Chains A and B, each alone.
Chain A
Amino acid sequence: MKLLKLTWSYLRIGIANEMQYRVNFFLQLLQSLVALATGLIGLWLVFSQTTNLAGWSQPELLAVMGVYILMGGVIQAGIQPNMQRLMEEIQEGSLDFALTKPVDGQIIVSIREFRFWQLTDVLVGFVVLVIAGIQLERQVSLWQALAFITALLLGGAMIYSFWLMLTSTAFWLTRVGEMVNLFQGLYAAGRWPVTIYPDWLRLTLTFLVPVAFAVTLPAEALTNRLTPLTLLGALGLTIVLLVLARIVWRLGVRSYSGASA
Chain B
Amino acid sequence: MRRHIDFYLASMRIAVLEQIQYRAQNYFYMIGMIAEPVIYLVVWSSVANQQGGSVGGYTAGSLAAYYIVWTLVRNMNIVFTPYGWEWRLQHGRLSAELLRPVHPIHYDVAYFAGWKVVVIVLWLPLAAVLALIFKPTLNPTWLQVLVFFLAIWGAYLLRTMFLSLLGMITFWTTRVGAIYELYFALELILSGRLVPMTLMPAWVQRVAVFLPFQWTFYFPINALVGKLGPQELLSGLGMQLLWILGGIGLVNIVWHYGIRRFSAVGN
Contacts and interface: CB of A to CB of B under 8 A. Distances in A.
Per DSSP, are chain B's interface residues mostly helix, strand or loop, or mixed?
Answer: helix
B204 to A, nearest CB: 10
Interface string A42-68: 100110111011100000000000000
A184 interface: yes
Interface residues of A, number: 39
Interface in B193-215: 194-195, 199-201
A45 B199 contact: yes
B25 interface: yes
Given A46-B47, A185-B33, A185-B35, A27 B42 contact: no
A188 B39 contact: yes
A38 interface: yes
B223 to A, nearest CB: 23
Given A49-B51, A53-B46, A178 B189 contact: no
Interface stretch (B114-122, B173-181, B233-241, B255-263): B173-181
A181 interface: yes
A201 interface: yes
A189 B35 contact: yes
Given A34-B185, A45-B199, A53 B29 contact: no
Contacts of B39: 188-189, 191-192
Main secondary structure, interface of A, reads helix
A183 interface: yes
Given A185-B34, A189-B35, A42 B194 contact: yes
Contacts of B56: 49
Interface string B41-72: 01110110011000110000000000000000
Q: Which of B31, B46, B188 has the largest number of chain A CB atoms within 10 A? A: B46
Contacts of B32: 178, 181-186
B46 A182 contact: no
B181 A181 contact: no
Given A53-B47, A188-B36, A38 B28 contact: no
A225 interface: no
A134 interface: no
Contacts of B33: 181, 185
A30 B194 CA distance: 21
B47 A201 contact: no
Given A181-B29, A188-B35, A54 B185 contact: no
Interface residues of B, number: 34
Contact of B46 (A35, A181, A196): A196
B5 interface: no
A250 interface: no
Contacts of B36: 185, 188
B42 A45 contact: no
B25 A178 contact: yes
B180 to A, nearest CB: 9
Nearest to B175: A27
Nearest to A27: B178
Contacts of B189: 38, 41
Contacts of B129: none
A46 B40 CA distance: 10
A249 to B, nearest CB: 20
Nearest to A31: B181
Interface in A184-240: 184-186, 188-189, 191-192, 196-198, 201
Nearest to B55: A49
23 contacts: A24-B175, A27-B177, A31-B177, A34-B185, A35-B181, A38-B188, A48-B201, A49-B47, A49-B55, A50-B50, A50-B51, A52-B50, A176-B28, A179-B28, A181-B33, A186-B35, A188-B36, A189-B35, A189-B38, A196-B42, A196-B43, A198-B42, A201-B42
Given A46-B43, A53-B43, 20 more contacts: A24-B175, A27-B175, A30-B178, A30-B181, A34-B185, A37-B185, A38-B189, A42-B194, A46-B44, A49-B51, A54-B46, A176-B28, A178-B25, A179-B28, A181-B29, A183-B32, A188-B36, A189-B35, A196-B42, A198-B42
Interface of A: 23-24, 27, 30-31, 34-35, 37-38, 41-42, 45-46, 48-50, 52-54, 173, 175-179, 181-186, 188-189, 191-192, 196-198, 201
